[in-house]
């Protein structure tokens, strides 16, 4: 009797584990995929609004300092940065390493500013410099403002 119960419990545990692996296979594959690129660590740099023609042109150009860090899990990248703009804005970044690039999405964690966007970053010189372009939408009481910006980061 006890052998039957033990066998049933073990079978149930393996079935549960198999179901978890099937349900989360994409996440597991992303975390377990090795990338030759390693962006983990502290980074600092400058972001600048780009004055482009058309609907997404900002009223004026702004430059601002950005400091923070990335953590990398296989090809998955997460980061938390502080943009020192008119007011400090904390930003959460999630992305994926693709070759020498990071494709990412981000959003602000600062309550007073609701912004989010997406971008592509190219990691230069074996992981020492990052050059990125990103698109931002900022939701305010007056609607949605959108802009394109340039980012240059250096590993600290």
Write out residues in the chain with pLDDT < 50, as ranges.
Answer: none
Domain ranges across the chain: 2-31, 36-155
Beta carbons of 121 and 66 less than 8 angstroms apart: no
Instruction: Answer yes or no: are the C-beta atoms of 45 and 151 closer than 8 Å.
Output: yes
Phi, psi of 138 (to 5 degrees): -120, 125
Q: What is the pLDDT of residue 76?
A: 93
What's the CATH number for 36-155? 2.40.128.120
Are the CB atoms for 140 and 122 separated by under 8 Å?
A: no
What does the pLDDT read at residue 38?
A: 86
The answer to whether the pTM exceeds 0.75 is: no
pLDDT of residue 69: 97
């Amino acid at each position: 009797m006890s052998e039957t119960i033990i066998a049933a419990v073990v079978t149930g545990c393996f079935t549960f584990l198999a179901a978890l692996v099937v349900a989360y296979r994409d996440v597991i594959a992303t975390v377990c995929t090795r990338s030759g690129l390693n962006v983990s660590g502290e980074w600092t740099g400058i972001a600048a609004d780009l004055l482009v023609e058309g609907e997404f042109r900002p009223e004026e150009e702004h430059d601002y300092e950005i400091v923070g860090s990335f953590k990398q899990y296989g090809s998955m990248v997460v980061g938390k940065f502080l943009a020192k703009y008119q007011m400090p804005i904390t930003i959460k970044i999630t992305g994926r390493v693709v070759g020498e690039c990071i494709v990412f999405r981000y959003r602000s964690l600062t309550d007073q500013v609701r912004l989010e966007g997406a971008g592509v970053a190219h990691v230069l010189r074996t992981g020492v410099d990052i050059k990125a372009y990103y698109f931002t939408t900022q939701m305010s009481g007056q609607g949605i403002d959108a802009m394109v910006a340039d980012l240059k980061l250096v590993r600290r």
